[in-house]
Amino acid sequence: MQTYLLFAAALLYAVCAVLPTRLGKLISSVTAGAWLLHGAALWQGMMAPGSLRVGFASMISAAMWISVMVYWLENRNFALDGLRRLVMPSATLAAVLPAVFPGSVFQLDHAAPAFGWHIAVAILAYSTLTIAAFHAVLMALQESRLHARPAGSGWFASALDQLPALLTMEKLLFRLIGIGFVLLTLTVLSGILFSEQLFGIALKWDHKSVFALLSWVLFAALLAGRRWRGWRGKTALRFTLAGFATLVLAYVGSRFVLEVVLHRGIA
């Protein structure tokens, strides 16, 4: 059932990617339908009594699910049709990833009932900061196009030209980073709590913990620099991408190697 839902969501995302701009209401309705199907498929695939199925594919798919939600909500306030032409093709591919790489089952029988919430908050944190990184790259490309103004154009250039003004994009970026940082902070704190319950130590110093903490420090520095030093532009881009890269290494990168390259389960 989950596979059918994933492919149905992917099909609707693909339809959204090619519908003409003038069909705004239809695009909004189809996007909402695809998002609901995608969410139902992720929930069905990841949640089970006493266990949790996770993997790099489900994390990427969840990130794009959040991306679609943000696009759908923000499109009501700003003209983000250019963003649609970038988000929807990515969501189409991400939606079917869990069907190809289902991940591994993690038993929760001996974990505290709230441990599932720790995992959920961690996924939300990763997803939100994934959007922020994607958003920062778009801003860099948008700014480069404004300065260079290349002669040629295509669907990607057209999508960039339809994005909101850079100041608006910057406000959206730091809103996303702020939300993601709060979620990441909750993830780190709850991770310390459950580490003590599961392993008997306050913090298990493995690669996941080190990279997650490094990511937290980078995003904290970015928000502090923005608040007191007015950081923006390339500085904000570097910190955003560095923080996101370490977050990827904390989980998704290692899961990809374990599941796809080494064919191992959760460690």
Same domain flag for 116 and 227: yes
pLDDT digits (tens, 9 = 90+) for 40-54: 998 887 776 666 777
Single out the residue in 104, 120, 143 at which a domain terminates: 104
Nearest to 240 by CA among 133, 134, 126, 167: 133
Same domain flag for 83 and 202: no
Question: 28 is in which domain, residue-wise?
Answer: 1-104
Higher-confidence residue: 15 or 59?
A: 15
Residue 101: count other Cβ atoms within 10 Å of its Cβ. 17
* β-sheet bridge partners, residue 52: 47, 106
Residue 256: the pLDDT is 46
What's the CA gap between 183 and 189, in Å, rounded?
10
pLDDT digits (tens, 9 = 90+) for 195-225: 555 545 555 666 677 778 888 899 999 999 8
Same domain flag for 66 and 2: yes
pLDDT digits (tens, 9 = 90+) for 1-33: 788 899 999 999 999 988 888 888 899 999 999
Same domain flag for 85 and 126: no
Same domain flag for 146 and 237: yes
Range in 156-160, 183-187, 255-259 with the lowest mean pLDDT = 255-259
What's the CA gap between 141 and 139, in Å, rounded?
5
Higher-confidence residue: 113 or 218?
A: 218
Higher-confidence residue: 145 or 62?
A: 62
Q: Is the dihedral of CA 247, 251, 255, 257 positive or negative?
A: positive
What's the CA gap between 68 and 35, in Å, rounded?
7
Same domain flag for 24 and 139: no
Q: Is residue 64 part of a domain?
A: yes
Same domain flag for 261 and 134: yes
Residue 134: the pLDDT is 81
Q: Is residue 160 part of a domain?
A: no
Residue 176: count other Cβ atoms within 10 Å of its Cβ. 23
Domain count of the fold of the chain: 2
Per the prediction, the chain carries an average pLDDT of 78
